[in-house]
Each structure stands twice: as structure tokens, then as C-alpha cells.
């Protein structure tokens, strides 16, 4: 999929706000800056951005980056960080499933503790 310049900038903005401020991006803020409502539908429908306020009226939507956003934003540091993060999560999940094969659900806290244990043991 090819993104136009506006779509790429919207994606980059959502990714950077998520990474550096740990916040989702309100549609109102993005529309004021980029003036392209069609871009939001295309980015959402293509799986690049996720609307986390699914039942909200259009103006109240809030966006978070999906995995594809890190690829399409054009920021090599964001892509590297995403790849490293996925690797950490996969290893932590593998270790959790190995340690507790009968357990089918793990909490975010379980995952975080295991990931931290993996980092300190290497």
C-alpha cells in the first residue's frame, strides 16, 4: 500500500505522540493540523491506525498506531524500536508458556515481569 504525503505525516504524528508522550492522538488535533478527513478513514480501514473510541462520534475519535504504522511512518528509529519490542514480547510469552503450560491467560503484569526477568538474565 502506498501512502500519500499527508497520510504518512498523520501516521508519523500518531506514532511519535504514542512513543514520546505515551498518549493517543485525538482526531480533532490531527484534523486541525492536516485538514484531510478522508485520510483517517483510509488509514483506519487499512489497519495502520486504530480508533480506540469506536462508538464515539467522528470528531471524538482517538487514534493509536497499529504495527503497520511503525513501518509506514518513515521513521527508522520508531521501526527499530517496534521490532525490538516485538522480539522482547515474543520471548517473554514463550518463557511464560514454557513455565506454565497449563495457563492460557497472562496479565500485562505477568508479561512485564517476565520481560524484565529476561533482560536481567542476559
| pLDDT attached to residue 58 | 67
pLDDT band at 79 (very low <50, low <70, confident <90, very high): very high
Better-predicted residue by pLDDT, 68 or 61: 68
Residues 107 and 85 grouped into a single domain: yes
Residues 48 and 91 in one domain: no
Pair 27, 55 in one domain: yes
Q: Are residues 64 and 85 in the same domain?
A: no
Same domain flag for 67 and 84:
no
pLDDT score of 55: 75
pLDDT of residue 38: 84
Whether 68 and 83 map to the same domain: the answer is no
Return the closest-CA partner of residue 1 out of 71, 96, 99, 95: 71
**What is the predicted pLDDT for the residue at 18?**
96
Tens-place pLDDT, residues 12-57: 999 999 999 999 999 888 988 988 778 888 998 999 999 988 776 7
Return the pLDDT at 122.
59
What's the structural domain count of the chain?
2
Residue 1's pLDDT band (cuts 50, 70, 90): confident
Whether 43 and 59 map to the same domain: the answer is yes
Question: What is the domain extent for residue 55?
Answer: 5-72
d(CA 99, CA 96): 5
d(CA 32, CA 28): 6
Burial of 87 per CB tally in 10 Å (0-12, 13-18, 19+): exposed
Amino acid at each position: 500500500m502506498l501512502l500519500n504525503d499527508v497520510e504518512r505525516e498523520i501516521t508519523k504524528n500518531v506514532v511519535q505522540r504514542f512513543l514520546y508522550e505515551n498518549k493517543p492522538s485525538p482526531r480533532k488535533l490531527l484534523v486541525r493540523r492536516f485538514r484531510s478527513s478522508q485520510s483517517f478513514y483510509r488509514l483506519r480501514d487499512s489497519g495502520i491506525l486504530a480508533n480506540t473510541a469506536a462508538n464515539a462520534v467522528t470528531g471524538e475519535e482517538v487514534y493509536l498506531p497499529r504495527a503497520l504504522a511503525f513501518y509506514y511512518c518513515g521513521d527508522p528509529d520508531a521501526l527499530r524500536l517496534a521490532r525490538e519490542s516485538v522480539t522482547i514480547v515474543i520471548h517473554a510469552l514463550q518463557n511464560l508458556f514454557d513455565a506454565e503450560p497449563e495457563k492460557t491467560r497472562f496479565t500485562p503484569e505477568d508479561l512485564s515481569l517476565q520481560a524484565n526477568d529476561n533482560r536481567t538474565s542476559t
